[in-house]
Amino acid sequence: MRDLREPLQRTALYAGGFLGPFGGSVVVSMLPEIGADTGVSTGTAATTVTAYLGVFAAAMLFSGTLGARWGRVRTVRTAYLVYAAVSIAAALAPTFSVLIGTRMLQGAANAFTTPLLLAALAVITPKDRLGRALGLFGAMQAAGQTVAPLIGGLAAEVSWRWAFVVLAGAALLLALAGLPESVRDDPSGTTRVRLRDALTPRVLRIGLVALLGWGALGGLGFLLAFRVEDDFGLSPSERGVVLTVFGLAGILSSRPVGMLIDRVGARAIVLIGAVSGAALVVVVGTVPWLVVLGVAWFLAGIASQFILVGVNAAVLGGPGGNRGGAVSVVQAFRFGGAAFSPLLLTPVYGADLVLAFLLPAALLGVLVPLAMARRPEASSR
């Protein structure tokens, strides 16, 4: 029985990467139905996305450190159980205010799974194979974000509430599976971890890279949706197809990117992703041909994995203790970029369409190389 349990728990470890992005994005395609059922506008219903991601990002500033103190296995299992309970509460929510509250609790619970799962991977994976393990985890995250709108849309054909029942069931299964026994043997667990051990200049620089990688590249789907509607007149379903190619590229490329990181190092991969991603954002924002735009957006999905898998490998494979806290901080920056990107760039788009794409491209192409420049304390590749 134990021989079967260990592979199952390893599979559940990776599957946990699917749940977070899936839960965050599942409401995107059913916002009109949520609004109609709860008596609010579609625009107000869209705050269910912000409520989830905002709390998710804020809680991750400290969730990795607290999880390491409380015990990784116990914390992750408890977080899954809380996630399942509040998902049922969301399915039964009688008012929009209650739904918003449950979405915030979902985001908080998710914050105590994602960074701890990444830290667990670093514990059980040999350093020379860490990149490919993180690549597989990244592929699961990309898959969760990609299929979430589809599952949400199918659920909304009957009732949007069923999507939350699906989330509850998935979280409960993951809680029952648990994590591999070897995860308990964390060498850094012999001393009390502190948040300040994770808030080093190196971790904060990598966090800035994660923020730009998602806020100025991976999080630009909303901006692209504006453009293909205004310039090409695409319908909602057609816009969805264009946007989906980004996630599809992430699913296909994450593991190969991880394998490449094992060969040449995280820093080089992040730099390649940033420079190529900046160029592709310019193409996506300026090219007058829809097919070329779609191809560029697909390639941008690959570039985003160079950055996102790269920053996880850089922080988990680097020096210092409290790796769970460090990756938690970096992930907080990443999803903070996703939360703030629409707030900052939508007004720019209203003033100048091209500038709305050139600005994030410039930030990505200039600030990331500066942040990833070699420093005397950086001993990893």
Helices H, strands E: what count in the chain?
A: 17, 0
Q: Which residues of the chain have pLDDT under 70?
A: 1-4, 6, 181-197, 236-237, 318-322, 375-381
| 85 and 117 belong to one structural domain | yes
Nearest-angstrom CA–CA distance, 24 and 32:
17
Tell me how far CA of residue 73 lies from CA of 124, 180, 364, in angstroms. Answer: 13, 8, 36
| 128 and 208 belong to one structural domain | no
**Are the beta carbons of 35 and 303 closer than 8 angstroms?**
no
Domain-embedded: residue 380: no
Domain-embedded: residue 162: yes
Domain limit, last residue, from 134, 156, 190: 190
| 40 and 125 belong to one structural domain | yes
Determine the pLDDT at residue 190: 46
Each residue's pLDDT tens digit, 219-234: 788 788 788 888 998 8
**Are the beta carbons of 128 and 51 closer than 8 angstroms?**
no
Which two three-digit tokens encode residue 327? 């990756």
Nearest-angstrom CA–CA distance, 25 and 103:
11
Determine the pLDDT at residue 3: 58
Determine the pLDDT at residue 326: 81
CATH of the domain at 362: 1.20.1250.20
| 39 and 172 belong to one structural domain | yes
Residue matched to tokens 């991976």: 218
Each residue's pLDDT tens digit, 281-332: 999 999 999 999 999 999 999 999 999 899 988 888 766 666 777 888 888 8
**Are the beta carbons of 13 and 121 closer than 8 angstroms?**
yes
| Number of neighbouring beta carbons within 10 Å of residue 37 | 17
| 78 and 131 belong to one structural domain | yes
| 132 and 147 belong to one structural domain | yes
The helix-helix angle for 72-91 and 96-111 (nearest 10°) equals 160
Which two three-digit tokens encode residue 324? 């769970």
The verdict on pTM exceeding 0.85 is no
Nearest-angstrom CA–CA distance, 259 and 188:
26
| 239 and 143 belong to one structural domain | no
Q: Considering only CA atoms, which of 123, 255, 254, 175 is closest in space to residue 9? A: 175
**Are the beta carbons of 56 and 107 closer than 8 angstroms?**
yes
**Are the beta carbons of 339 and 24 closer than 8 angstroms?**
no
Domain limit, last residue, from 162, 190, 218: 190
The helix-helix angle for 47-70 and 96-111 (nearest 10°) equals 40
Residue 4, judged by CB atoms within 10 A of its CB (0-12, 13-18, 19+), counts as exposed
Domain-embedded: residue 83: yes
The rounded percent of the chain whose pLDDT value lies above 70 is 90
**Are the beta carbons of 310 and 270 closer than 8 angstroms?**
yes
| 233 and 186 belong to one structural domain | no
Domain-embedded: residue 16: yes
**Are the beta carbons of 304 and 246 closer than 8 angstroms?**
yes
How many domains does one find in the chain?
Answer: 2
| 200 and 292 belong to one structural domain | yes
Determine the pLDDT at residue 110: 92
Residue 92: domain span:
1-190
Domain-embedded: residue 124: yes
Q: Considering only CA atoms, which of 333, 336, 323, 372 is closest in space to residue 119? A: 323
Domain-embedded: residue 381: no
Coil vs helix vs strand at 308: helix
Domain-embedded: residue 213: yes
Nearest-angstrom CA–CA distance, 178 and 176:
6
| 227 and 239 belong to one structural domain | yes
Which two three-digit tokens encode residue 190? 């012999």
Domain limit, last residue, from 190, 220, 243: 190
Determine the pLDDT at residue 171: 93
| 152 and 202 belong to one structural domain | no
Determine the pLDDT at residue 378: 43
Nearest-angstrom CA–CA distance, 144 and 254:
13
Nearest-angstrom CA–CA distance, 292 and 102:
41
Domain-embedded: residue 30: yes
Coil vs helix vs strand at 235: coil
| 183 and 210 belong to one structural domain | no
